[in-house]
Amino acid sequence: MLNNSPYVRANSSVTRVMLKVLLALVPAIGVSLWLFGVGILIQLALASLTALACEALMLKARGKPMRLFLTDLSAVVTAWLIALAFPAIAPWWLVVVATIIAIVLAKHLYGGLGQNIFNPAMVAYAAMIVAFPSLMSQWPSTQLDTAAQLQAVFGHADATQRAMDAITSATPLDSLRTGLRAAGATVESVVQSPVFGWAGGSGWEWLSLAYLVGGLWLWQQKIITWHIPLAFIGTLAAVSGVFWLVQPDSFASPLLHLAAGGSMLGAFFILTDPVSAATTPRGKLIYAAGAALITYLIRSFGAFPDGVAFATLLLNICVPLIDMKTQPAVFGHKQ
Amino acid sequence: MLTALLVMLGLAILIGASLGYASLKFKVEGDPLVEKIDAILPQTQCGQCGFPGCKPYATAIANGEADINCCPPGGDDGIHKLADLLGREYKPLNAEKGVEKPKAVAFIDEATCIGCTLCLQACPVDAIAGAAKQMHTIIAPLCTGCELCIAPCPVDCITMETVQETVDTWKWRFPTFQIKPVNTRTAA
Amino acid sequence: MNAALRKLFSFNGGVKPQTHKAESTRTPIVPLPLPPVFVVPLHQSVGGTPIPLVKPGQKVLKGERIGAADGNYSAAIHAPTSGTVVAVEPRTMAHTSGLSMLSVVIEPDGDDQWLATEKFPFQSAAPDEVRDYLRDAGIVGLGGAVFPSHMKLKPGKATPMKTLVINGAECEPFITCDDMLMRERPAEILRGICIMRELLQAEEAVVGIEDNKPEAIASMQTAAATMPYVQVVAVPTRYPAGGAKQLIRVLTGIEVPHGQRSTDYGVQCFNVGTAYAIHEAIELGRPLISRIVTVAGHVDTPRNYEVRFGTPMDFLVQQAGLKTGCDGFVMGGPMMGFRMPAFDVPVVKATNCVIAATPALFPPPPPEMPCIRCGECARACPTDLQPFEMYWHSRAKNFGKAQEYSLFDCIECGCCAYVCPSNIPLVDYYRFAKTEIWARERQMEAADSARQRFEARNERIEREKREKAEKLAARAAATRATAQADAGSAPSADGADDAKKALIAAAIERAKAQKPATAEAPAVADASTQD
């Protein structure tokens, strides 16, 4: 029996959309691999397996068709975002717990695919950084060999801790924040440290570039629109630029803000998550600009080195209001 | 201390006065709750609820004298709406009052009709045309299907006819989910 | 006139599905042979259902009126050939619902003899006469909306008519009936356009044709070369460029809002097929009894036929060589067409295309996934709606909210469902919500009228009671007055007693007087019950 029209469809599916997002993350995974070693691959595998297991369990519990929703790859996208946002040498349980929080709490308890108000990966990140702030800020300072990586991820707590002290360093934003606390320190003196490369931190600027490349490809593939990345980057640059021009000693340059931390990951992959983001063109601009502003405020005046996760969650709350107030004019009703 | 007291007192008087003024100025005439309930009721005026019409039933509900599940023509949908409006618990339709039926209109068999005008007097919405010793006929678009004309008819010439769906009243069905296409095929 | 210089506008959204048009444009239009029987539904256009004018057994000639327009918002129906009316009865309609509608069943006599036809003196007739003539000739919009054309041929009140837009865009995949008509009969179309232009007093007429039909554009441009006020313009190929509002926007830049007359904005839009039908009606005196229909899909030779209304669809499709495995007919294109409830439903005025569908041609949609709010539908929507919001609210049966998101501005073009990565049948939800809202509005209107009538009746009963009481009181007062007069100068203390006595006496007298009358009344009632 025939259905109702339309009888023809464009060749698109949720799986295809998610697959493209995963592909767009590949450059960043490559750079991470080069920067931090195979740890990132271990984390990706851990997160993906946990995500799929949780997804399967929750689908079963909720009586949803298993195969259809497991193959939509949305859980894998969440898993990859978590793995990439977490330190490559974080202990294995950190990523596993985070993924469980993301899939079970932030996704399925809200109703599963398409129903979550908050970005699941960012809920997990926020929960973990509040619960384990030190573990979340220990990034490998150099590329580690595989044995050291495995030791860091799967080793005993004590041994891990000892090993960690030797091999880790804070992220550039973290260093900047602690550096500025010292008496008489200025941004200029702090960024002399080798941890800061030519832009946003040694190596980190390449990671940001990789996200930028992946994000631009997503835009070219029409998976995302220009509104959110541009508004986020533009606002972040503008706000940090103003502070930097007024007081260059205490505030980092726009370039550092854009290239460091989760700016690019957030602009192209986190904030653009369609389920939890604003949907109207004007709404997207407001949403991303708001997120950029809060990110900057948290980075410069807040208690955490980076603010992308919290900014995303805060703006997620505002989405229904933003969408409602920014409905575009309908054909024939424009004035 | 005294100033604070005076300020508070002044504020209290001011707010009280403005509230009093507002209650006079924006006084709502009539009982909006009865109107709201009446708007949900189907206006069949059939009296199956035990009240002489929809408005009296609405008034009784508003006064807490009647339950919300006494209106068979309003059906389950109507009870749900009333429950939502009044914040009361949903109850299934009171079977004593009748059962929900598809919409029907009365039809007078004109060969049998004797023109006694009894049905004219029974019709709550004046949907029957006719006069003494003249043939009566139902003005179908105005008939609410209350069935009140059936009992008074001395020759039993009135029947209820279910309203048939036409192209103008046809409705698209709610799209069905096709999550398990394999199962539906085996079922068929 | 050279059309290259016209400034074109664009509408947002739209999609580019595969067109499948080449298959059915290889061969010219052919007239379809007479089928063994015609089933002509009376209701073939928007508006009132025409009233049948024929009875079973009656002979009819080709072009004879068999259904008269019911009021002005309706259009007449005519016999497609000469023959005998075998029945006037409900038959299954060419409508997804599968409901039946009063139809005239005609058995052709094979002579195919025209009723005497003559040219309508259009130049000397008053505009209203022309419109009445077109209504009685059964002219309706042949683009698919089948709106009575005479209703649209009135110039707007406030704005002077500027542009008459002629829709030859034909943006739906598979359909090529307008394309072939423009290729083969451009002169007739243009004559129809001239008539419409005069009726509307439009400054110019612009024919918009999608640029994937170069032959039709060339043919129309050649024919229009001598007409300074007709422009033939190629518009970019993008579905739904052939939507009336979208085409008006592309050609004039004017956006006509939902629910408003386009003549109030100085434009009006007609399909090329309608222009052709108007030419036939006015200049040849032939009512609308046939149209060009594309037969496509699972057939040997997809092509265009000139088909008379009432021809069973299976007869039509078999002429094109129906292959086995067809699981249903789709009337219209794959984007907006409708599934037919049976194979033998008749071709009607709205039938621009019949597609023989197979599961391979139109595969069942993949399972519906939840909406991920990707906004793809909003970007594809040609009316700038937020389809996913309308979907949420329609699905939740939150119809008020769906209306707030401009549900009724939706033209059901199907672009949103076409692009949806979650394979949600979005348009089905809008159709469901729209018909549900209409049903509720009808219900509400009926309830309101019942309430009013009930209250009016109660008031009347009250009034009658009151009047009766007043009358009684008045009569009592009068009797009292006469009694008082009779008593003359009696003391006032006894006066009251006397008055009472007089009242009772009067009442008894009245009762006596009424007795014979009441005695008769039951006898009459008995007599009538015994009948």
* Structural domains of chain C, with CATH: 23-331 (3.40.50.11540), 372-488 (no CATH)
- Contact: B175, C448; criterion CB under 8 Å: no
Q: Is C208 helix (H, G, I), strand (E, B) or coil?
A: strand
Touching C (3+ Cβ pairs <8 A), the chains are A, B
Q: Is the pLDDT of residue C492 over 90?
A: no
- Interchain pair A327, C328: CB under 8 A: no
d(CA A11, CA A284) in angstroms, rounded, equals: 26
pLDDT of residue A233: 96
CB contact under 8 A, A10 and C96: no
Contact residues, chain B, for C439 at CB < 8 Å: 169, 171
If 0-12 CB within 10 Å is exposed, 13-18 middle and 19+ buried, where does residue B184 land? exposed
The reply to whether residue C432 touches residue B174, judged by beta carbons under 8 angstroms, is yes
Nearest-by-CA chain A residue for C11: A331
pLDDT band at B110 (very low <50, low <70, confident <90, very high): confident
For residue C160, what pLDDT is reported? 86
The confidence band for B101, taking pLDDT boundaries of 50, 70 and 90, is confident
pLDDT of residue C132: 94
Chain C partners of B175 at a C-beta cutoff of 8 Å? 425, 428-429, 432
For the cut 80, the answer to whether the pLDDT of residue A22 exceeds it is yes
Q: Say if CB C172 and CB C271 are below 8 A apart.
A: no
- Eight-state DSSP code of residue C299: B
- Average pLDDT along chain C: 90
Is the pLDDT assigned to residue C495 strictly greater than 60?
Answer: no
pLDDT of residue C521: 43
Cβ atoms B114, B93 nearer than 8 A: no
Tokens 């209109």, residue? B105
CA distance B91 to chain A (A): 28
- Percent of chain C at pLDDT exceeding 90: 79
Residue among C373, C387, C368 at smallest CA distance from C427: C387
Nearest CB to A329 within list C17, C376, C384: C384
Tokens standing for residue A322: 């933003």
Identify all chain A residues contacting C297, using CB atoms and an 8 Å cutoff: none
Q: Do A2 and C328 touch (CB under 8 A)?
A: yes
B15-34 residues touching A, CB cutoff 8 A: none
The residue of chain A nearest to residue B181, with distances taken between CA atoms, is: A65
The pLDDT score that the predictor gives to residue C479 is 87
Return phi, psi of residue B85, to 5°: -65, -45
List pLDDT tens digits, range B119-172.
Answer: 988 999 999 988 888 888 899 889 999 899 999 999 999 999 998 888 888 999
Give the pLDDT score at C530. Answer: 41
Question: Does residue B43 contact residue B55 with C-beta atoms inside 8 Å?
Answer: no
ipTM, interface predicted TM-score of the complex: 0.89
What residues in C contact A7, CB-CB < 8 Å?
Answer: 330, 334-335, 337, 357, 361-362
To the nearest whole Å, the CA of A224 is away from the closest chain C CA by 8
Task: Determine the residue among B179, B182, B183 to mutate to test chain A binding: the one whose Cβ has the most chain A Cβ atoms within 10 Å.
Answer: B179
Q: Note whether B30 contacts C: Cβ–Cβ < 8 A.
A: no
Q: What is the mean pLDDT of residues A311-328?
A: 95
Which residue in chain A has the smallest CA separation from B183?
A65
B26 touches chain C (CB under 8 A): no
pLDDT of residue C247: 96
Give the span between the Cα atoms of C301 and A226, in whole angstroms: 47
Select the residue from C372, C379, C431 to test the A interface by mutation, using most A Cβ atoms within 10 A: C372
In Å, the largest CA–CA distance within chain B is 92
- The CA distance from A274 to the nearest CA of chain C, in Å, is 5
Of A311-320, C35-44, C112-121, C246-255, which gets the smallest average pLDDT?
C112-121
Over residues C292-316, the pLDDT tens digits come to 999 999 999 999 999 999 999 999 9
* Biggest alpha carbon–alpha carbon distance for chain C: 116
Considering only the beta carbons, identify the residue of A2, A4, A275 that sits closest to C357: A2
**Cβ atoms < 10 Å from Cβ of C453:** 19
**What is the number of CB-based contacts under 8 A between chain A and chain B?**
4
Give the C-alpha separation, B41 to B50, whole Å.
Answer: 14
Q: Which residues in chain C have Cβ-Cβ distances shorter than 8 Å to A118?
A: none
pLDDT of C374 over the 90 cut: yes
**pLDDT tens by residue, A270-316:** 999 999 999 999 999 999 999 999 999 999 888 888 889 999 999 99
> Is pLDDT at C524 greater than 60 in this prediction?
no
Answer whether B64 touches C (CB < 8 Å): no
Nearest to A5 among C327, C334, C419 (CB): C334
Mean pLDDT of all residues in A213-235: 96
Residue with token string 């080069």: A34
**What distances in angstroms separate CA C155 from CA B55, C168, C248, C261, C269, one per listed residue?**
48, 22, 16, 10, 12
CA-to-CA distance for C29 and C48, rounded, in angstroms? 32
Cα–Cα distance between C349 and A311 in angstroms, integer?
58
Query: Domains in chain B and their CATH numbers?
Result: 32-97 (1.10.15.40), 104-162 (3.30.70.20)
Which phi and psi angles does B44 have, rounded to 5°?
-70, -30
Kindly report, residue by residue over C394-437, the tens digit of the pLDDT: 999 999 999 999 999 999 999 999 999 999 999 999 999 999 99
What is the spatial distance between Cα C303 and Cα A191, in angstroms, rounded to a whole number?
75
Min Cα separation C230/chain A (Å) = 26
Which residues share a beta bridge with C270?
C166
Confidence band for B111, pLDDT divided at 50, 70 and 90: confident
List chains touching A (3+ CB pairs under 8 A).
B, C
Taking contacts as CB-CB distances below 8 angstroms, the residues of chain A near B179 are: 64-65, 68
A72, A15 contact by CB (below 8 A): yes
pLDDT tens figures, C197-256: 999 999 999 999 999 999 999 999 999 999 999 999 999 999 999 999 999 999 999 999
